[in-house]
Amino acid sequence: MTSAASAGEPLGQRAIGAARAFRLAGPPRAIERFGSGHIHDTFAVSCDAPGGSRRYVLQRINARVFREPERVVENAVRVSEHLRLRLEASGAPDAERRSLRWCESRAGSPVHRDESGSVWRACGLIERTHTRDVVESPDEARAAGRAFGDFLAQVADFDPGLLHTVIPGFHDLAAYARRLEAAHAADARGRARACADEVQAVRRALAELGSARAAQEALPRRVVHADCKVNNVLLDDRSGEGMCVIDLDTVMSGRSADDFGQLARGAACTAAEDERELARIGFDLALFEALCDGFLSGCGSLLSPAERAALPQAPALSALEHALRFLTDHLEGDVYFRVHRAGQNLDRARAQRRLLEAMRACERETAQIVRSAAGHARIRA
């Protein structure tokens, strides 16, 4: 077993205890930090099992972000089981690698609460896959877009009423704007003066994008992923195909354009989310086209004309949303998004402001790309 120190004392020791609390294929023999997520503490656990080693993903859920962690896990288990049944019924190749398999604790629950009150969950690690934090080619963008489009199509018949709302107001721009104003007025950390330009910029953007916001808010609600980032898709090591959508923490009732907007915001940006050299930040139309083609191909005939019409401006609304959220978190003292240096959330907010400007400069091109991709998707369907 990896020592507690190598996994991060004292959390590593608690992770070892949590791993032992789940019904795994065999006794845990090694544990190490895993992944690049900003919210939870994630580990890979190796076990000796009949027929060879098995690996699992073990997570301690961040209770500051998700106040009711058991509900988060309950949603993920319900959706994963729905996906598993759909895949098996359709005869999809490699069906066992296309949805998450959650582990049961020795107490018969999908979660384990340790002595400190922390909530843990575990699922099988899908082997021979990898993730990308940054898209490296249009083919990868298309694969990620297809995976999220497939996800929406596969959960289209799942009743949103069966899912808990784990983060009230998620993707609600008006609510995020109100919280920013409250944080700016309170100025609890004395940071308001230094980011006055950013606050004014997002206020202007909110007004300028008012009609796009209204159109998106009027879209039908359906079960969505709600955290569509490229690194939430497992890509097959050999084929590059998107095998499985992961990180189901925010799966709940929402709008398809929110999913697509978030995906394109991250994957088609030419620089890191916290890039300080703003001149490096742009919007890659070739990657956007590949994302759009994959997403609409995966959705097939699912989306209504109004949903397709909302896609061109969805990335800009997502950039605005994230500028609001990063700026608010900076003002409140970095309580939501994990930071690794002083001012990182302010850097993120400034980067989103620049990305929004780049997106708005190519609105005609993005609209044409969506129209063309929608036509191709209908032909293939």
3-state secondary structure string across 49-91: ECCEEEEEEEEECCCCCCCCHHHHHHHHHHHHHHHHHHHHHHC
Helix (H) / strand (E) containing 254? strand 252-254
Distance CA 74, CA 167 (A): 14
pLDDT tens by residue, 178-237: 999 999 999 999 999 999 999 999 999 999 999 999 999 999 999 999 999 999 999 999
Contact 49, 64 (CB under 8 A): no
Q: What is the overall mean pLDDT for the chain? A: 92
Contact 282, 362 (CB under 8 A): no
Topology annotation, domain 138-380: Aminoglycoside 3'-phosphotransferase; Chain: A, domain 2 (3.90.1200)
Is the bond into 10 cis (omega within 30 degrees of 0)?
yes
Helix (H) / strand (E) containing 16? helix 11-20
Distance CA 22, CA 58 (A): 10
pLDDT tens by residue, 119-130: 999 999 999 999
Query: Is 4-127 CATH 3.40.50?
Result: no
**Domain assignments of the chain as residue spans, ordered by start:** 4-127, 138-380
- Give me the count of residues in the chain: 381
Distance CA 97, CA 206 (A): 41
pLDDT tens by residue, 247-306: 999 999 999 999 999 999 999 999 999 999 999 999 999 999 999 999 999 999 999 999
Which residue pairs from 88-93 have beta carbons closer than 8 angstroms and sit at least 24 positions apart in sequence?
none
DSSP helix, strand, coil percent of the chain (3-state; round to 5): 50, 15, 35
Distance CA 312, CA 167 (A): 26
Averaged pLDDT, 363-367? 96
DSSP bridge pairs for 196? none
pLDDT of 38 > 60? The answer is yes
Q: Is the pTM of this model over 0.85?
A: yes
pLDDT of 49 > 90? The answer is no
